[in-house]
Structure 1
Amino acid sequence: MKPAQMDRTPFADLDSQPSEMTAMLLAALEAMGRHPEIRRVRETAWQALRPRPGERLLDAGSGAGDVARWLATKVGPAGEVVALDYSAATIAAAVQRHDGSNVRYMTGDVSAMNLPAGSFDGVWCERVLQHVDDADAALAELIRVTRPGGRLCLVDTDWESLAFDGVPARLAATIVADMHGRLTPRQRDMGRTLRRRLIRARLSDVTATPVTCVFGDPASAAVVLPMVNPMVPEAAWTTPPGVRDEWFSYVDAAGARGDFLAILTIWVVTGTVG
């Protein structure tokens, strides 16, 4: 999994980062996975995927493996979960966190996986497609490795849904526009395009559920939204001089008053492979 980020480069190419940065990014992944709003998104996705005992599942873009290990509790000892991530450092961290469950960890590219066709009963892919160059090519690979009748569960962000209240609208618009400038249009709206992509790929029983994440204070928002996190290095910001400090002064003031609000929609989309 790739988390929300101010600059997608460190997360998209984690193996090239200094060890201190890698450790920080992995800690961010784990904190995000514990956040109540992200857990709410995942609960929606788990209910949609419906993992069953004995199934073989793929977690494509598995991060530190927390979802893969949860899936392993559902498929039981007769099943298996393959946790695949592009980053060798992330897979190494996942192996260190392994709890003895039936999970196999491997590095790989979701757009070109070294896995047999039709070898999985289901696939989970969370907040990955927004980072790849060709989401439809990656989707074709996920479909290829899923058996007929198997289920795909895709989870991704609609960054264009991001909105704030309690801070000046013109300043929030500047911050959001800065983040949007770092992402291509297909990456900004990935979440809401997933239903269309599955329909065009001729999957059946397609369902699409928007989950609006609500962050009522800056500390909560900072776990998921890097533009609210003062720990994100100043060098990562590309806003004009002074804008970052002005932004955080308003964010802090809104937090102190209790009227800060940030909202972001993440989509859960499933379909059955024919």
Structure 2
Amino acid sequence: MDSFASGFAKVDKTNDADSFVQYLDLIHSIPFFRESKTQSYCKLNLSPGDSVLEIGCGNGTDLNNLAKSVGNLGMAVGIDISSTMLNAARKNATAINCHPECILCDGLHLAFPTNTFHGVRSDRVIQHTSDPFAVIKEIARVTRPEGRVVIFEPDWETYTLWPGDPKVCRKVMNFWCDNIPSGKVGRLLYAAFSDAALIEIEVYPYTLTVTNLSLARQIFDLDTTFSLAVREGIVNQTEVNQWEEELSQADHTGQFFSTLTFFLVTGKKQSPC
């Protein structure tokens, strides 16, 4: 049993790879994420004829939007480590008459020459890698001088869920965060950009607020997370049952509350002296 927290690092090896595609469809339908995505596109400052790379293109929704930005004279490329995701991306591109290139590749070993792209973007992907600093350096390598890098990532230690026993909540939240390869990546991005010699670094925090328990179950994969936490001995079933009852009661009275903070970080590759 894999949660979405850990499963995105190995989609093709899971028992239900298509569920991860469906999860991305859900995310793209939520206004908060649509707004953050629009802002990230704008920060790339792309023009027709430019070249752009999407790290972890998933089902291709963002890649198609980037392809539209650079037009037929430009080049839009998406990479992913999942063949399932790449197949979905190709299918979606064909459906709307877009023609981006989709390549099986990982962020640590980008199959492109140095100084290739006018812009590189990644959205909630680097959390699933083991070495964010190395990935950002590789991204900077393939970015052209004066090109833009735009990354959007959560910091899972900012995740809140109310109500519930604080000790039980913290145990489960820590378990969730620790099962993501780089669950605290949001707070690392500024340093990673600096380490990659990117300049004009800007950081924009975005906080997702969810007040509907059913939606929170889907976004945060609560049912699987609770089951895994019990299986691993982090909490017991009685504690989870009590918590579930409190969450359901709060949802019934309109008092359920959950948040997660993301960071949109932008930077530019410096021109050589």
Fold shared by both chains (TM-score > 0.5): yes
Question: Helix, strand or coil for the counterpart of 2:120?
Answer: strand
Q: Is the 8 A contact 1:203 1:273 kept in 2?
A: yes
Matched, 1:236 2:233: no
Moved more, 40-49 or 192-201: 40-49
Do residues 65 (structure 1) and 60 (structure 2) align?
A: yes
Mapped pair 1:245 → 2:241: yes
What does 1:135-214 correspond to in 2, within 5 Å? Answer: 135-183=132-180, 187-214=182-209
Q: State the alpha-carbon separation in 2 of the partners of residues 259 and 54 from structure 1.
A: 49
Rate the CA distance shift 1:94–1:79 in 2: closer, same or farther, 3 A: same
Counterpart pick for 2:49 among 44, 47, 54? 54
Letter in 2 for 1:264: L
Query: Structure 1 pair 220/234, CA: closer, same or farther in 2 (3 Å)?
Result: closer
Give the deviation of 1:123 after TM superposition: 0.3
Q: 1:82 aligned to 74, 77, 81, which one?
A: 77
Q: TM-score, normalised by structure 1?
A: 0.89
- 1:35 pairs with 2:27: no
Match of 2:97?
100
Is 1:266 matched with 2:262?
A: yes
Residues 76 and 102, structure 1, Cα contact 8 Å, conserved in 2? no
Q: Report the Cα distance in structure 1 between the residues aligned to 2:4 and 2:39, rounded to whole angstroms.
A: 28
| Residue 221 (structure 2) pairs with residue 226 (structure 1) | yes
Provide the TM-score with structure 2 as the length reference. 0.89
Q: For 1:40 and 1:167, how far apart are their aligned partners in 2?
A: 30
Deviations 1:109-133 (A, max 9, x none): 1100111211110000111221112
CA offsets 1:209-244 (integer angstroms, 9 cap, x no match): 0001111111232332122xx3x3875343433133
> Match for 1:267: what amino acid?
F
Write the letter of the residue equivalent to 2:42. Answer: Q
Q: CA deviation at 1:9?
A: 3.7
| d(CA) in 2 for partners of 1:144, 1:154 | 15
* In 1, Cα distance between equivalents of 2:5 and 2:167: 24
1:54–1:79 Cα contact (<8 Å) kept: yes
The one-letter code matched in structure 1 to 2:122 is C
> What amino acid is aligned across from residue 260 of structure 1 in structure 2?
F
Instruction: Say if 1:37 and 1:168 are closer, same or farther in 2 by CA, change over 3 A.
Output: farther
Letter in 2 for 1:148: P
Counterpart secondary structure, 1:240: coil
Any gaps of 5 or more consecutive residues in structure 1?
none
Kept in 2: contact 1:148–1:273 (CA 8 A): yes
What's the CA shift for 1:154? 0.8
CA positional deviation for 1:170: 3.2
Alpha-carbon distance change, 233 to 215 in structure 1, aligned in 2, over 3 angstroms? closer
What RMSD in Å do the two structures reach over aligned CA positions? 1.9
Separation in 2, partners of 1:199, 1:143: 11
Structure 1 165/8 Cα, relative in aligned 2: closer, same or farther at 3 Å?
A: closer
Report if aligned partners of 1:167, 1:260 keep a CA contact under 8 Å in 2: no
Structure 1 residues 50 and 224: alpha-carbon distance in aligned structure 2, compared to 1, 3 A threshold: farther
Other-structure match for 2:39: 44
The answer to whether the 8 Å contact 2:172/2:235 transfers is no
User: Letter of the aligned partner of 1:268 in structure 2?
Assistant: L
User: Per-residue deviation at 1:60?
Assistant: 0.6
Percentage of pairs with the same residue: 24
- What is the DSSP-based 3-state SS (H/G/I as helix, E as strand, rest coil) of the residue aligned with 1:138? helix
Q: Does 1:11 align with 2:3?
A: no
- Shift in alpha-carbon separation, 1:234–1:263, aligned structure 2, 3 A: closer
Label 1:183 to 1:73 Cα distance change in 2 as closer, same or farther (>3 A): closer
State the shift of 1:85 in Å: 0.4
The alignment of Structure 1 onto Structure 2 pairs a total of residues equal to 263
